[in-house]
Structures are given as C-alpha cells and as structure tokens.
Amino acid sequence: MTKWNAADIPDQIGRTAVVTGANTGLGLEAAKALAAKGARVVLAVRNLEKGEAAREWISRSVPEADLQLQRLDLGSLASVRDAADELKDKHDRIDLLINNAGVMTPPKETTTDGFELQFGTNHLGHFAFTGLLLDRLLPVTGSRIVTVSSIGHRFSRGIHFDDLQWERSYNRLVAYGQSKLANLMFTYELQRRLVGQRTTALAAHPGGSDTELARHLPRAMQAAIPVARLLFQEAAMGALPTLRAATDPSALGGQYYGPDGLGEQKGHPKVVTSSQQSYDIDQQRRLWAVSEELTGVTFPALQDTPA
C-alpha cells in the first residue's frame, strides 16, 4: 500500500492558508508544499526579514507561488490582535489555519503579557489567534484548523492549573510538555464545539524532526543532538502529518496525525493517539475557560455542548 506523501495533497487553487512560524522548519516546508499545489499562503512570522527570506526560498522552487507576509508575534496579545485584524481586512475567507509556530525548552522567560513563554506562545497565542480569525473560517465549507503538538506532550501529566505560569518553580521540559498538551486539549475541545459547522479542528506532530526548535535544549541534552539526529527525519517529512491533517479529504475533525514509524519518531503520516490526560473533557473545558480569561478572546459563534 502506497504511503501518504506530499504528492497526495489535493489541488489547493483558490484556497487561502495561514501558516504561523512559516519562516523556518516545519512551517516553511508546509507553506512550500501548499503553495506548490496552488494555495495562496500567508507566512505569519515574528521577524519580517526572515519571512522575506522564506518567501524568496519558496519562490525559487515554486516560481508561481502566491505568498504573502504577515507579522505575528504570538508572545504579544496586541500583536495577535493586530495580525488578525490585518488578515481579516485582506481576506474574506480563510480555508486553512495551521497553528505551527512554537518555542521549545527556553530558559525561564515570559511573554509581553507576563505568561510563561512556552504556554503563552505555543498555546495562548494560538488560542487567541484562532478565536479572532474564526469568523473567516466558519463560512467556508471544508475549512480546517490544524494545531501542531509534539510527542513531548507526554512530558506533562496534566495542566498545572495551580501554577500555570511556573512562578513557584520551572522545569523547561515539563513546561514544554504542558504547552503541547494544551495544544491537544484545545484541538479536542474546539472540535467538540465545531460539531455541525463547516470547519473542523485537527492536530498533528512531526515526530523527531531536524529543525531549529531544539536550540534551547539543556546543555546536557544538546551534547546528544549529533547522535539523536541519526534518528530524526528531515523537516519536509516532519511536515507531512500537518499537511495530511490539513488537506486529506478523508481526515476527520478531532484526529491526531503523526509518523508511522517506531515510537512515532519518523515515517509517513497516520492517525495516532495522544496521552490519556489529553482526552479529559473536564480538563479541556477548564483549560478553555482559563484561556478565554487570560487572553480576553472568546469564541461567541461556538457554544459549549454536553460531552
């Protein structure tokens, strides 16, 4: 049986895709693949200079690519709001929103709004961005919201509601795991609220991919990276689960895609399962409520429904 790859992406002509963190790694590869299939792709990036370099890189391989740049700093709710407003001014419809950008295991830092950097950027920034763009997605039949999680979500046994911002202590790996667990809980709760709508929510993870994301790993783990790279796959392969979740006509809302190889480290995309904690509906609802409170962003078109 032939395994799913980028050649299986359906024609994307006439569709608009917004990809966060599209200037490097997985986001860059996803943007390139979508552009190659005819999508208009918005590269939503924090650094416009790097975004311009990414646009030029894609254009060299896909000369006909329809690419736009949008400044977006997920660590600033003001920037998130500005970016969403600008995108809504430019686009009447959005077919794909790929919440890809993220930070991994930095030293203790906070966002502009005082949130722990990983939770604030990886989860809260994307939660707010999605909510603010939702009215451009809901009218579009077949529109999708894909949020990129990680195997690392298993580092966290649950959401630390008693110390969400890690003010009492800080473990960078567990904090990363919490942010990636939050990505999954957000996706599952969002999909539950989207039932009956034209839009679906899915999640994906890249397995072990050779990208810049690991640059903040603790020094002891950095030393192991040259050996670990032997187990990693290239970013183009790591982007395939995201691309399948975003474009495969058979993909269903609430599904989670990852590599099919040993330990989901590498391989072609398939539907996978996440940790037991990620499926806890009460925790999903609690995280949703806290996220609305912290960001000030609500999803008025979506009502909470019984499980």
Q: Which residues are catalytic?
A: 176
Instruction: Tell me the two tokens of residue 246.
Output: 């975003």
Beta-ladder partners of 258:
270
Q: Which residues contact 15 (CB under 8 A, 6 or more apart)?
A: 38, 39, 40, 95, 96
Where do the H-state alpha helices sit in the chain? 25-36, 48-61, 77-90, 117-118, 126-137, 172-194, 219-222, 225-228, 235-238, 240-247, 281-295
Contact 104, 118 (CB under 8 A): yes
Instruction: Tell me the two tokens of residue 204.
Output: 């994906």
Q: Which DSSP letter does residue 247 get?
A: H
- At 182, give phi and psi (nearest 5°): -60, -40
Give dist(CA 219, CA 84) in Å, integer.
37
